[in-house]
Structure 1
Amino acid sequence: MKCYIKLIAVLDKDENRHFVELTPGLNIITGSSSTGKTALMEIFDYCFGSSDYTVPKGIIRDYAKLYYITLQFSKYMLVLARDPTEPQKGFIKELTNLEEIESLTKGKFNFFDDNFIYPLRDFKNKLNRHFDIDFSSIDEDDSKIKWSGRRSPTPSIRSFTSFCLQHQNLIANKHAIFYRFEEKEKKEQAIEHFKIFMGIVDQDYFYTKQKQNQLVEEIKSVERSIKREVNNESSIKAKLGIILDDYYSLTGNKLLNIEMDEIYNKPEKTLQLLKQNVIKIDSTSTNYEIRKKELDGLHSQCIAEKRILLNKKSTIESSINHISAFNEDLSSINLIQDTDIKTCQCPFCQSEINPMISEAHDLTDAINWLNEELQATPYLAEPLKEELNLVKNKIENKNKEIQEIETNLIKLAKETEDLQNKTSISQLAEKYQLRFEIILEEIETKKRSNLIKKLNDLKSEEKKIQKEINKRYSIERNLEKLELEINKMMNQIGEKFDFEESYRPINLNFLLKNFDLFHKDQKRNTNTYLRAMGSGANWLYSHLSLFLSLHSLFATHKECKIPPILFLDQPTQVYFPNFHDDNAEEFKPENSVFKSELAKIDDDLSSVKKMFKEFIEFCQNHKDENGDILTQLIVTDHVDNLDILQNNDKNKQKTNEQEQKSQNQIYDFNSYVRARWRNTGEGFIKLKK
């Protein structure tokens, strides 16, 4: 998203304006301690919708009535303001009128109209739209919403600050890399939303994924229905088989001469065959007798098997009861812990006699074994209980078999009774055929084949959607490309910083799946994570290499929604840690280091110059087709008046006078200074006397 901060300002309680004007590229705000440098980042964060009011305590907090910033987009300017006394509100207004824009720094000041003040939630939503972040849903599966009762947090401009702000206590931190990542939820959101911020996915992607997941759920539902149908199919085939057997035993002839699978799968054809069927009775058939003997034999066998199972059940229950009773007795037994061996003494020579030492040792071993066995006894019941459940299930299944056999025997007896009551065999046969036809008609109406067709149609549609997603988004491949691009740029930048020799050549790797950063040692094939890299300089350069590479990505990818704006608060503190004592009117490196480190001040100053040289070159390397710088680096620090080219590029060939002049202009430290607060009374807030 092409934009930059043009103005960071405070309106004090006397209606006076205090501001710093910024430009694309490198912006340096330098000065002594307690002049308001760090407050610039906090004011930006607060005006950018932060719920926390973190502007440092002091003169700015005491006198501020209103904080405001302006963001310059290509065709308009956006003004954002916050009143510290009304933290739940925010002011947002789009400007194109030149007079209104100039009124922010000149002329009368009656700009902040109440009509543009909104509740903080609405303020953030309006700000989101300026960065093309207007997502109503980012859930890929609606069923999770129904199950959990809540939607996933939609992306917000608040996640941008994790990529744009490097605070004083963060920029050289070995334990943390990103602002706000100490909160697990915010870290996970930023990682999850990164593909949105980089323009890899849009709102349609999430709607399409929701539709796909709905199809997946429908597919599972139909598959369950088909599975039920398959189970039901076995049951129906069994019923049909029984009717066919009964018909055969009654008439001595088969009702149909086709296989059961064909009967089930082609019910309409089977019904046509039944209409043509003529019932024939074979009076000489012995099928009834055979069927009766078969059922009687099965009945006797099942009864016998059931009794065996009942005996086994009784034995197991008895064993469990014995173990339970033993456990109760065991709880009242005091386990033997040791033995007491007494020695005998000879009444004549007074010598000790120990004839039972070896027996005592054997007894001790026996006591220990017995104790272990007794302690293990309570657990013997567990496998028995499991076996008891298995036996009970077998008995239940055997009861069902017996019941089914008895039902068939009753039917045979009923046939004989009907015949005795002068019901003809033909009539009984017709009843069996009618029952057979009724079941076939039920099969035909269900039309299981429709479920299979529906399943195939759903699967085809789901594959079509997946193909569309792969074609339009290619998320994994695009994230892999971005990761490679980040790592390549990160190591190009890192080579220009003064990492320790043990990390050269620098080989930093950043993983987009979890935002981990580590140095990969190719020789040893080991990964050294930031927290183990040692030295504040290594931590600082790792942060700078990563964030500059990320902002290279933000500046050069047109679909990216994150503005290429990066705040760096006091990056030189690694070399000059004594900044809190810096109150001089002129920056002197020797005043900002500990006395014990004065010997290496020239080396430290050389490293700092390299750092600022890289800042300048980074901005110069990121321009659009019109030559306009795309990135904005805002560095707040104590260092000042650096001769950046001195002690740098020692091996570089001499340049001619014109080239030298051009180089001096590009690397002129003072040309990037937007504010300098060193003299007495100077600072971001200048109170009028």
Structure 2
Amino acid sequence: MQIRSIILYSKSGEKRVLDFRLGELNIVTGTSQTGKSALLDIVDFCLGRDEATLPISPIFNTVAWYAVILQLPDTRILAARPAPRPGAKSVTNAMLEVGNDLGIPELPDLRVNTDSTQLRQQLGRRIGIGDTRSEPAPGSLLSPLSANLGHAVLLCLQNQDEVASKRALFHRQNERGIPESLKATIPYFLGAVPEDQATLQQQLTQAKRALRRAENDLKAAQEANQGIEARLESLLSEARVHGLLPDNSVDTSDRAAVIEALQQAASFRPTPTTQTRNSGGRNSSSPNSHPLSDGSCAPSQKNANS
């Protein structure tokens, strides 16, 4: 992708066009304070940057739209942005148009038909930037990052002070968040990661989450199992104390045997009391009879002959 033209539209409808020769080195010269240093900011803005870094001067205060015409091997693309309103720090409105014989439109033909995010995504797809989602390191507070045209621009532009800088190599490298973005996306642009890196990373992340859930479920099941073992032993001891089970009759290491023994203990029913008449005319209970709930024996009844 090459820049074919940079166009500035004034509010009165006039336009200033700066054409470039494709496939050649272009050197822009001119007197001081004519806007040469702002060309990179204009290109960056037209390619989808939201932050308004354009100069504030009488020249740029008259601009209504900024536009660039990009040349691709098989087509041309017009990327245009309305000028930010006075005092605005950012703008997201944009215009994108594609055509093989696309020319320079007039001001009335410019209209907003997209936003800066979609503009970068569509331009990125046109030049072959795929879905390259980069996952941050575990424990990092950074959000997942997808390489786009904005990251590619960082590798293509350099301001005058950046060219002479001993501490920065890339465009806007000293700005907050830019070093992290460069670190995450340069491997993709160098071809060090495959096109399906985003899909593979997403699958890996999902697999790690599933593994953590399974490990947590296993831990919870093990803790619950320990609680069940303790409860079974407690019930078994209680059944032995009450004489429902003989001592040491069950192997406590065999859960199935313990459960079966407890089921038998739960189904235990005491032998019912049988009353008989003795020779003295009083009722007496059998040797296996049980006392009443208040602890007294059954009252005697008078003989029917008395």
Query: Is TM (by shorter chain) over 0.5?
Result: yes
In structure 2, the residue matched to 1:19 is 18
Q: Deviations over 1:194-218 (max 9, x none)?
A: 4455553444234313421331232
| CA distance in 1: counterparts of 2:170 and 2:161, whole angstroms | 11
Give the CA deviation at 1:4.
Answer: 2.0
| CA distance in 2: counterparts of 1:243 and 1:269, whole angstroms | 13
Q: Does 1:242 align with 2:237?
A: yes
2:162 corresponds to which of 167, 170, 185: 170
The one-letter code sitting in structure 1 at the alignment partner of 2:152 is: F
In structure 2, the residue matched to 1:71 is 70
2:3 corresponds to which of 2, 5, 9: 5
| CA distance in 2: counterparts of 1:58 and 1:270, whole angstroms | 89
1:216 corresponds to which of 211, 216, 240: 211
Secondary structure of residue in 1 paired with 2:204: helix
In structure 2, the residue matched to 1:207 is 202
Q: Deviations over 1:435-467 (max 9, x none)?
A: xxxxxxxxxxxxxxxxxxxxxxxxxxxxxxxxx
Secondary structure of residue in 2 paired with 1:53: coil
Secondary structure of residue in 2 paired with 1:169: helix
| CA distance in 2: counterparts of 1:252 and 1:40, whole angstroms | 96
Seen in structure 2, the aligned counterparts of structure 1 residues 251 and 231 have a Cα distance that, compared at 3 Å, is closer
In structure 1, the residue matched to 2:60 is 61
Q: Does 1:112 align with 2:133?
A: no
After the TM superposition, which residues 563-602 of structure 1 pair with which residues of structure 2 at under 5 Å, given as runs?
none
Q: Does 1:90 align with 2:82?
A: no
The one-letter code sitting in structure 1 at the alignment partner of 2:249 is: L
| CA distance in 1: counterparts of 2:207 and 2:245, whole angstroms | 57
Is contact 1:137-1:151 (8 Å) kept?
no
2:176 corresponds to which of 178, 184, 190: 184
In structure 1, the residue matched to 2:249 is 255
| CA distance in 2: counterparts of 1:68 and 1:251, whole angstroms | 93
In structure 2, the residue matched to 1:43 is 42
The one-letter code sitting in structure 1 at the alignment partner of 2:176 is: K
Seen in structure 2, the aligned counterparts of structure 1 residues 158 and 5 have a Cα distance that, compared at 3 Å, is same
In structure 2, the residue matched to 1:470 is none
Secondary structure of residue in 2 paired with 1:227: helix
Give the CA deviation at 1:90.
Answer: 1.4
Gaps of 5+ in 1: 280-418, 424-689
After the TM superposition, which residues 556-567 of structure 1 pair with which residues of structure 2 at under 5 Å, given as runs?
none
Q: How many residues are paired up? A: 260
TM-score, normalisation: structure 2: 0.66
Is contact 2:46-2:80 (8 Å) kept?
yes
2:152 corresponds to which of 140, 152, 160: 160
User: Once the two structures are aligned, what percentage of the paired residues are identical?
Assistant: 17
RMSD of aligned alpha carbons: 4.2
The one-letter code sitting in structure 2 at the alignment partner of 1:94 is: V
TM-score, normalisation: structure 1: 0.32
| CA distance in 1: counterparts of 2:115 and 2:79, whole angstroms | 13
The one-letter code sitting in structure 2 at the alignment partner of 1:95 is: G
Seen in structure 2, the aligned counterparts of structure 1 residues 251 and 216 have a Cα distance that, compared at 3 Å, is closer
Secondary structure of residue in 2 paired with 1:164: coil
The one-letter code sitting in structure 2 at the alignment partner of 1:83 is: P
Secondary structure of residue in 2 paired with 1:165: coil
| CA distance in 1: counterparts of 2:46 and 2:4, whole angstroms | 14
Give the CA deviation at 1:47.
Answer: 0.8
After the TM superposition, which residues 526-545 of structure 1 pair with which residues of structure 2 at under 5 Å, given as runs?
none
| CA distance in 1: counterparts of 2:82 and 2:94, whole angstroms | 7
Secondary structure of residue in 1 paired with 2:71: strand
Seen in structure 2, the aligned counterparts of structure 1 residues 272 and 67 have a Cα distance that, compared at 3 Å, is same
Is contact 2:38-2:55 (8 Å) kept?
yes
Q: Does 1:226 align with 2:221?
A: yes
In structure 1, the residue matched to 2:302 is none
Q: Deviations over 1:154-180 (max 9, x none)?
A: 444222232222111222223333333
In structure 1, the residue matched to 2:88 is none
Secondary structure of residue in 2 paired with 1:94: strand
The one-letter code sitting in structure 2 at the alignment partner of 1:9 is: I
Q: Which structure shows the bigger proportion of residues in helix conformation?
A: 1
Seen in structure 2, the aligned counterparts of structure 1 residues 213 and 22 have a Cα distance that, compared at 3 Å, is farther
| CA distance in 2: counterparts of 1:251 and 1:236, whole angstroms | 17
Structure number with greater CO (CA < 8 Å, separation at least 6) is 1
Secondary structure of residue in 2 paired with 1:80: strand
After the TM superposition, which residues 427-446 of structure 1 pair with which residues of structure 2 at under 5 Å, given as runs?
none
| CA distance in 2: counterparts of 1:209 and 1:62, whole angstroms | 51
Seen in structure 2, the aligned counterparts of structure 1 residues 240 and 88 have a Cα distance that, compared at 3 Å, is closer
| CA distance in 1: counterparts of 2:146 and 2:227, whole angstroms | 46
Is contact 2:3-2:70 (8 Å) kept?
yes
Is contact 2:134-2:144 (8 Å) kept?
yes
Give the CA deviation at 1:231.
Answer: 2.6
| CA distance in 1: counterparts of 2:229 and 2:246, whole angstroms | 26
